[in-house]
Structure 1
Amino acid sequence: MSAADHEIIVVGAGFSGIGAGIQLRRAGFDDFLIVDEADGVGGTWHWNTYPGVAVDIPSFSYQFSFEQRDEWSRVYAPGRELKAYAESCVDKYELRGHIRFGTTVERAEFDEAAHRWRLRTGDGAELTARFLVGATGALTRPKPPEIPGIDEFAGITMHTARWDHEQGLRGKRVAIIGTGASAVQIIPAVAPEVERLTVFQRTPIWCLPRPDAPLPGPLRLALKLPGGKLLTRLVSQTYVELTFPVAAHYYATLPTAAAAERIGHAHLRRSVRDPELREKLTPRYALGCKRPSFSNDYLSTFNRANVALETDPIAAVTPTGVRTASGVEHEVDVLILATGFRVMEAGSMPTFDLRGVGGRDLEQWWDENRLQAYEGVSIPGFPNFFCVIGPYGYNGASYFTLIENQTKHILRCLEHARERGASRVEITEAANDRYFREMLSRRGGQVFWQESCATANSYYFDKHGDVPLRPSTTLEAAWRAGHFDLGDYRFDAAA
């Protein structure tokens, strides 16, 4: 198939890709293409449609600052509303004509002579672009568990990120493997309709009460008044900042995490009647070592007569059920895998084979040099390539603040290149090394380096033992996106 040329290609049509597309259009970059393997926009909210799926921070923060809705049904919006929000952003900012669905990028190679990226897609086509933006997100590649016999199960198997709505659960014996964020939402949603629900837990999750409720009429009205959205967002942003970025990154100096742990323990005592069961659901690691969750009904669901918590390790999946290490077999009809996503792993950042200068393989380079990227955006040896969600870019606040900060950074580079007539933009080794050293120097005060985190089984930790989250406040990240030294990049014109 023939090649198709563009100035910019964005890989991913979730909110990262949508945000990048909106800002590109605003800045006068019209020759861009957004590609996605899915058949619709939304990324996480396109793929994740399981019962109970919802955002896990207040909706007022989980949206673009320049496109704030006043019609959320709840404080924590259900997944279908986030999907609809993605669709509305695409239509309002006229991105539909820039998106190509059903397109899987398998490989991207930098053509050093032409200063262009050459992309190969799953259908054999070639796309080329001067600049390449990786916007594939973090919660799109399901991670199946490595359990003997799992492919031999004769019943129905579903991963939460690929839910099959044609499969009914009513009256079925259901097993859920995993107790992470997705499980916290799905367990209360399906428990009332199944005959029996067995939850296999490896590590208990910190579960805090969620300040969720349908939005009352007076608040809906207030959101439409001048300043209403701004005030509500300010309150929401403060809450989000205190519950993760501040608590996790300043654990050693600020007491917010300790206070939250007390709230979590009290919530557990109120929710679970059986002391033995409560003990099994009690985390033994510091709050923040792994992603916590917020729910008002997850813990109390274990009080139901048809719900059982199993903490005996899984030995194998059999054709008829799940066998634990003690030899007990739990017969089930449906096996639900709430085992999360490939996040800090090969094949997820990015989701395709990326080759830079001299054929440098990004996955191999990160394997040899540890995950790193200047301001979470650029990697030396990979000119004209920018990440929206790169190592040491995300600080744990709303993904929307990350998207806006990173796209601001990317646009500063693109606009400067346009002003100078440059066709090649590359971060210097020195600047990248300086940023990486700074990130590592800050981590001593983070929660992740507490001794108890060793038992948390957290996906925050990569294979090198690092936690490539940005140890900073959201305000600092925003300031740096607009003020980093453009001299940290080399801008060159084609010969």
Structure 2
Amino acid sequence: MTTEQLDAVIVGAGFAGIGAAIQLKRLGIDDFVILDREDDLGGTWYVNHYPGLAVDVPTTTYSYFFEPNPNWSRLFTPGPEIKQYADDVADKYDVRKHMRFSTTVEGARWDEDANVWRIALAGGETMTARYLITATGFLSQPKVPDIPGIAGFEGKVIHTTEWEDDFDATGRRIAVIGTGATAVQLIPELAKRAADLTVYQRTPIWVVPKVDLRFGERTKRMFARIPLTQRVLRWLTDSIYEVMVSVGVRHYRTFRGRFNISAADLSKLHRFAVIRDPELRRRLTPDYDFGCKRPTFSNGYYRAFTKPNVHLQDAGIDHLDADGIIGKDGTKNAIDTLVLATGFDLWEANFPAIEVIGRDGRDLGKWWRDTRFQAYQGVSMPYFPNYLSLASPYAFLGLNFFNTMEYQMRLMDRLLSEVKRRGATTFEVTEEANAAFLDRMTELLGDSIFTAGNCGSANSYYFNPAGEPTLLRPSSTETAIREASEFPLADYQIA
């Protein structure tokens, strides 16, 4: 079988993959492909299209800094507009032609003799590439709960990542499992039409009111004609979120959790204003600190529980039978539809999303689990030459993925430009630089809510299976971008 030879392979056609492709083209690298298992681009914004889907970070901030969009309809834009933005950026920067859809990457292995990555695809096809970039995102592997009896349930089962657009909730008896960010958006929509809706809650979530502004045509024209006005609004939303993450997450110990207490009080006031039943308010109140898991914004979530057709069940699930759910308290709830709003499997299925075997046969997933989850600047690991993993430990800056992509593109520019300048063929982060970065991240996390706060009952995906909060990078956006632009080139072996 003929093996296709390329300069680079990018795995994932979401916003990270699109950003990486744009940066490669800026560097003069055009012989690359973007592989994605779905049949269209957009990543999580293509896969997810359930009712109520919207971004939970202002879209003035949730976009590439170099590509502002004056056409957003709202401050918290609905999902279809985010997908359209991905389409528009891919077309404008001419990266769609590099994409191959319905292509599943099974694994990649570094060939030490040829200094290339050998990438195996489902179906037996192979590729070789000088550079491998995995842009599989943090939310790409759906989590399906292992509930006894679920295979024997005779009703409809829908995971939110596989939503059926023609599904009509009208008159149905629906159970929703999960109360994370997805459920907070979906539940109010289902409550409008379902005859009966029961929400199965393991862990309550902090919900604060959503200040969602509509952008009228006059505002859109102003953004288009005077781009500085949108830049100013972005600076404002960026600054607000940066302060929130800095004070409430990264420097929790320094500020003694005062911001978190205030945010929790706002959520409590929100519940009190909407829900008059004190027992229901108590059951919807988290017992962990605000910020231990991703909080969310909604004006309709708590209100949904005041409807006569909506019920909260927090006693736990024992098993399913053919037509309903039997709770751990022995009660049975007859349903015809089961909605799994159970989120994503980050650590077991997504770190890494494919099998990656580096130099000397080092298996990335096994190495992470046998030692610690770690990645220099959130992208590089020793023993993995010419490899950048954009969804790695210590990669995510907090609430806004695009700030993460911004610093990663800066790092790609500095690193690959130096490789080109030297006429080199490989780069690999040194073990010393990687260890020093890990030590610094661990020390900085000592001041964070994850170490100093009360997070034990949060069930947060920020924590890996060993209990370490290694998803987030405990540094400001400004610091991450500066380090990505100025890191010592000696931190990499370039040969």
- Please tell me the residue identity of whatever aligns with 2:296: S
SS at match of 2:369: helix
Residues of 2 paired with 1:106 and 1:200: CA distance? 35
Q: How does 1:96-135 map to 2 (within 5 A)?
A: 96-135=96-135
Mapped pair 1:287 → 2:308: no
Percent identical residues: 42
Using the alignment, how far apart are the partners of 1:103 and 1:226 within structure 2?
Answer: 38
Give the secondary structure class of the aligned counterpart of 1:120.
strand
Mapped partners of 2:331, 2:227: distance in 1:
62
1:384-421 CA-to-partner distances (Å, cap 9, x unmatched) read 11011211121213101101111211222111111111
Query: What is the deviation of 1:204?
Result: 0.4
1:115 is displaced (CA, Å) by 0.7
**What TM-score, normalized by structure 1, do the two folds share?**
0.97
- Superposition pairs of residues 119-158 of structure 1, within 5 angstroms: 119-158=119-158
Q: Is residue 313 of structure 1 aligned with residue 322 of structure 2?
A: no
Q: 2:5 maps to which residue?
A: 5
CA distance in 2, matches of 1:8, 1:114: 15
Provide the rounded CA distance (Å) in 2 between the counterparts of 1:292 and 1:451. 15
Counterparts of residues 40-119 of structure 1 (less than 5 Å): 40-119=40-119
Q: 1:420 aligns to what?
A: 422
Deviation at 1:340, TM superposition (A): 0.5
User: Aligned equivalents of 2:227 and 2:292: distance in 1?
Assistant: 40
Given residue 462 of structure 2, which amino acid in structure 1 is its aligned partner?
A: Y
CA contact 2:23–2:412 (8 Å) conserved in 1: no
CA 50–122 in structure 1, closer or farther in 2 if over 3 Å, else same: same
1:25 aligns with 25
Tell which deviates more after alignment, 108-117 or 246-255.
Answer: 246-255
Q: Count how many residue pairs are aligned between Structure 1 and Structure 2.
A: 491
1:101 & 1:483 partners in 2: Cα distance?
Answer: 36
The AA in structure 2 aligned to 1:243 is M
Secondary structure (helix, strand or coil) at the match of 1:132 reads strand
Give the Å deviation of 1:216. 3.3
For residues 136 and 226 of structure 1, the distance between their equivalents in structure 2, rounded to whole angstroms, comes to 32
1:329 equivalent to 2:332? Answer yes
Residues 264-289 of structure 1, C-alpha deviations (whole Å, 9 max, x = no match): 11111112121111110011110011
Distance 1:292 1:226, change over 3 A: closer
Distance 2:452 2:158 in 1: 35
How many Å separate the matches in 2 of 1:258 and 1:181?
20
2:363 and 2:246 map into 1 onto residues whose CA distance is 32
* Higher deviation after alignment, 236-245 or 102-111: 236-245
CA contact (8 A) 2:446 2:452 kept: no
CA distance in 2 between counterparts of 1:338 and 1:141 reads: 13
CA distance in 1, matches of 2:113, 2:461: 39
SS at match of 1:227: helix
Give 2:409's aligned residue: 407
Please tell me whether the aligned partners of residues 245 and 396 of structure 1 are also in contact (alpha carbons under 8 angstroms): no
**Alignment counterpart, residue 354 of structure 1, candidates 356, 365, 368:** 356
Query: Which residue of structure 1 aligns with residue 342 of structure 2?
Result: 339
Q: For residues 250-304 of structure 1, what are the alpha-carbon distances to aligned partners after superposition, in whole Å with 9 as ceiling and x for unaligned?
A: 1112332222122111111112121111110011110011111111111111000
What is the aligned partner in structure 1 of residue 248 from structure 2? 247
Q: Which amino acid aligns with 2:381?
A: I
State the 1:226 CA deviation.
4.4
Counterpart of 1:292, as a letter, is P
Q: Measure, in 1, the Cα distance between the counterparts of 2:406 and 2:29.
A: 17
| 1-structure distance, mates of 2:191, 2:246 | 33
Structure 1 residue 461 corresponds to structure 2 residue 469: no
Once the two structures are TM-superposed, the CA of residue 353 in structure 1 deviates from its matched residue by 0.7
Q: Given the superposition, is the C-alpha separation of residues 58 and 395 from structure 1 closer, same or farther in structure 2, using an over 3 Å criterion?
A: same
Please name the residue that 2:237 is paired with.
236
- Residue 150 of structure 2 aligns with an amino acid whose one-letter code is I
Specify every segment of 5 or more residues in structure 1 that has no aligned partner in the other structure, as ranges.
none
CA distance in 1 between counterparts of 2:449 and 2:219 reads 36
Alpha-carbon deviations, 1:34-87, whole Å to 9, x = none? Answer: 110111000010100111011010010110011101111111011100110000
- Once the two structures are superposed, what CA deviation does each residue of 1:441-494 show, in whole Å capped at 9, x if it has no partner? 1112111124521111111111111111111111111111101111100011xx
What TM-score do you get using the length of structure 2 for normalisation?
0.97
Instruction: Tell me the distance in 2 between the aligned counterparts of 1:321 and 1:243.
Output: 42
3-state SS of paired residue (1:452): coil
Partner of 1:432: 434
Task: Give the match for residue 275 of structure 2.
Answer: 272
Q: Distance in 1 between matches of 2:80 and 2:308?
A: 31
- Could you say what secondary structure the match of 2:46 adopts? helix
Please provide the CA RMSD for this pair.
1.2
SS at match of 2:348: coil
> CA contact under 8 A between 1:173 and 1:195: conserved in structure 2?
yes
Q: How does 1:168-183 map to 2 (within 5 A)?
A: 168-183=168-183
State the shift of 1:217 in Å. Answer: 4.3
What is the identity, as a one-letter code, of the residue corresponding to 1:128? T
> Which of 475, 478, 485 lines up with 1:482 in the alignment?
485
Q: Any conservation in 2 of the 1:245–1:395 contact (CA below 8 Å)?
A: no
Distance 1:244 1:150 in 2: 39
Task: Give the letter aligned to residue 477 of structure 1.
Answer: A
